[in-house]
A and B are shown apart, each in its own frame.
Chain A
Amino acid sequence: MQLSDFFEPYKGEIKEVTIGPSGKAVKLGGEKTLPFHAFEGKEGAPVRFALEVFDTPPEGWPEHLRSSYADVLSDPVAWADKCVKQFGADLISLYLSSLDSDSCDVKKIAENVKKIADHLSVPLIVLGVGDKDKDAKALVEIAKVCTGKNLLLGPLVKENYEEIAKAALEGGHSIIPQSPLDINLCKELNVKLAKFFPKERIVIDPLSAAIGYGIDYSFSIMERVKQVAVIHNDEMMKAPMVANIGKDCWKTKEAKEDKTQGILWEALTAFTLILAGANLVIMRHPESLKLVKKLISGKE
């Protein structure tokens, strides 16, 4: 008799999503158990970590965050390279900060994304600024220009998911639908997408918050999403989840005022949401990345 004889197998298997073109692709999800419950069922791909790169030099970063990237802040290609080669990021998450300027040219932005994607040895996530119109315009163009590169594009919200998802479908990309901390609206968006978009190319973002700034809401929702998928086998919820935490962590006063505190803030926010079920975490500080990896693996 084995230990596993006592367990009732889970019903739902999270879809395995592949990001990036063949040769440098990374898999997400694929598990048929709850986070860290390898003893109860099939573990999927390991949790993946992306570091953030901005396409224009970021403003308002505290010195103890900026200093890690001081030599590359105005060169996204070099910045991304440093994240991969020096800091061990599994993926790069490119934040389209250039969309914030009034004079942005989406064609140029898309060309720039292509250049970065071509150069990189890891898959690329491309994130808009959260303005539904600007994001849609840019992501549609990027999806076209970068056809075949299997980028992970987001965020798609209820007001712009149709046009972005259609472009992503044509260009062969994956997408991140985002819902405002509401599991019912999360499902709603997935139901609508599932009518024309393949489920194995969806990574959901239930919206993350930092420690002290609403992480309890994020945790509960991510935990429920994972349970509904794995335990109740809800077809619409069996997608890997992303926790995009860099932005929220580094705008807290706690992270800004002190280096050690900031690193802990980001690492523990990441770790908490991994416990809740995140399959992909997008972070900013290389040292918080290192710390959370160490926490998970138990190795130096």
Chain B
Amino acid sequence: MILIGENIQILAKVVSNALKERDEKPLQELASKQAKAGADYIDLNVGPARKDPDIMKWLAGVIQEVVKKPLSLDTTNPVAMEAGLSVCKIPPLINSASGKQESKDKMLPLAAKYNCDVVLSVLIDAGIPTDSSSRAEAIMESVAYANEIGIPNERIWVDPIMMPISVDQPQVVELFEFMKILQDICPGAKSTLGLSNLSNGAPEHLRGTLNRICLVMLDRYNCFSAIVDSFDEELVKLAKGQLPDIKNLIYRAMDEEVDTSSLPKKETDIVKTVNVLMGRSLYSHSWLET
């Protein structure tokens, strides 16, 4: 699975300070470390950058000095996006466009103009769709529009939008259902999603467990990539297929009810987590304790 490293993002204090001061050192360090840890793309999340759209140009420039990985330019501001696009040496990923009218008008055309890949989320003017079929309906329309303006399916990374499991558990199940049918409705399209949002609101020390197991499940549903915490070593290993025993147990727990009575704690936790992600048992912050 292709991993997009999420660690350069405006909500992190180190990042927002460095961006404000135009201090490239901590940012370059974050990028190098992520590349070394196994990230295939480096996400550059500068937020809406309303006052300072040139920030993306500067950031893309300094990051390219230290890593040879493609960048994922992450902003909702088309002016900042274009500023970034104009300096990228390796074709970057536009992160992201959506089915909202404004995005169709201003963001999607940039993917055609710069001939690069684009993340296209299921978001539409009416909001985030709430089940798999309304996700399908939304994305088919947005993809059709993208095709019309010259962006083929192969350059579209569909983002089904991951919701926090602690807020709306049934949405996780709906997302899996959508991933299963994605290739039927948009043949050849790629996919990606913000994995860490899954565990937003969950106890801090358990977030990794949710993220990692969900990643393996998504991989099985042919999810092409995910935006992840590059510094979660086990997660990176799982994504690269280096932990087959864990992967096999997750697959087994997806397919059948696994009896946990004779399993060690770590395996039991995996089975319980799969059950929560599949919607078989009701989520609570102490899902591992029941």
Q: Identify the A interface with B (CB < 8 A).
A: 183-185, 187-188, 190-192, 228, 232, 234-237
With CB as the reference atom, state the residue of chain B lying closest to A192: B286
Select A184's contact among B169, B280, B290, beta carbons within 8 Å: B169
Residue pairs across A and B with Cβ atoms less than 8 A apart, 7 shown, are A184-B166, A188-B286, A191-B290, A228-B282, A232-B280, A234-B282, A236-B290
Determine if A235 and B284 form an interchain contact, defined as CB atoms under 8 angstroms apart.
no
| B289 / chain A contacts, CB cutoff of 8 Å | 191
* Chain B positions 69 through 98: 1 when the CB is less than 8 Å from some CB of chain A, otherwise 0: 000000000000000000000000000000
| B17 / chain A contacts, CB cutoff of 8 Å | none
Q: How far is the CA of A115 from the CA of B284 in the complex (A)?
A: 40
Determine if B290 and A185 form an interchain contact, defined as CB atoms under 8 angstroms apart.
no
With CB as the reference atom, state the residue of chain A lying closest to B201: A184
Determine if B284 and A185 form an interchain contact, defined as CB atoms under 8 angstroms apart.
yes
Q: Identify the B interface with A (CB < 8 A).
A: 166, 169, 280-286, 289-290
Determine if B281 and A234 form an interchain contact, defined as CB atoms under 8 angstroms apart.
yes
Q: How far is the CA of A237 from the CA of B282 in the complex (A)?
A: 9
| B280 / chain A contacts, CB cutoff of 8 Å | 232
| A190 / chain B contacts, CB cutoff of 8 Å | 284
How far in angstroms is the closest Cβ of chain B from A76?
38
With CB as the reference atom, state the residue of chain B lying closest to A191: B286
| A192 / chain B contacts, CB cutoff of 8 Å | 286
Determine if B284 and A191 form an interchain contact, defined as CB atoms under 8 angstroms apart.
yes
A contacts with B: majority SS: helix
| A234 / chain B contacts, CB cutoff of 8 Å | 281-282
| B286 / chain A contacts, CB cutoff of 8 Å | 188, 191-192
| B285 / chain A contacts, CB cutoff of 8 Å | 184, 188
| A228 / chain B contacts, CB cutoff of 8 Å | 282
User: Known pairs A192-B286, A228-B282, A236-B282. 12 more at Cβ < 8 A?
Assistant: A183-B282, A184-B166, A184-B283, A184-B285, A185-B284, A187-B284, A188-B284, A191-B286, A232-B280, A232-B282, A236-B284, A236-B290
| A187 / chain B contacts, CB cutoff of 8 Å | 282-284
Q: How far is the CA of A183 from the CA of B170 in the complex (A)?
A: 12
| B284 / chain A contacts, CB cutoff of 8 Å | 184-185, 187-188, 190-191, 236
How far in angstroms is the closest Cβ of chain A from B172?
12
Q: How far is the CA of A185 from the CA of B202 in the complex (A)?
A: 11
| A236 / chain B contacts, CB cutoff of 8 Å | 282, 284, 290
With CB as the reference atom, state the residue of chain A lying closest to B202: A184
Q: How far is the CA of A232 from the CA of B169 in the complex (A)?
A: 15
How far in angstroms is the closest Cβ of chain A from B106?
37
How far in angstroms is the closest Cβ of chain B from A161?
13
Most chain A CB within a 10 A radius of its CB, from B166, B280, B283, B290: B290
With CB as the reference atom, state the residue of chain A lying closest to B167: A184
| A232 / chain B contacts, CB cutoff of 8 Å | 280-282
Q: How far is the CA of A232 from the CA of B278 in the complex (A)?
A: 13
Most chain A CB within a 10 A radius of its CB, from B169, B280, B284, B286: B284
Q: How far is the CA of A149 from the CA of B255 in the complex (A)?
A: 49
List of 10 A-B pairs having minimum Cβ-Cβ separation, nearest first: A187-B284, A188-B284, A191-B286, A188-B285, A228-B282, A184-B283, A184-B284, A191-B290, A187-B282, A234-B282
Most chain A CB within a 10 A radius of its CB, from B169, B282, B289: B282
With CB as the reference atom, state the residue of chain B lying closest to A224: B282
| B290 / chain A contacts, CB cutoff of 8 Å | 191, 235-236
Q: How far is the CA of A254 from the CA of B43 in the complex (A)?
A: 54
| B166 / chain A contacts, CB cutoff of 8 Å | 184
| A237 / chain B contacts, CB cutoff of 8 Å | 282
Q: How far is the CA of A236 from the CA of B282 in the complex (A)?
A: 9
Q: How far is the CA of A86 from the CA of B162 in the complex (A)?
A: 56
Q: How far is the CA of A192 from the CA of B281 in the complex (A)?
A: 17
How far in angstroms is the closest Cβ of chain A from B243?
29
Q: How far is the CA of A187 from the CA of B281 in the complex (A)?
A: 11
With CB as the reference atom, state the residue of chain B lying closest to A194: B290
Q: How far is the CA of A232 from the CA of B280 in the complex (A)?
A: 8
With CB as the reference atom, state the residue of chain A lying closest to B280: A232
How far in angstroms is the closest Cβ of chain A from B207?
15
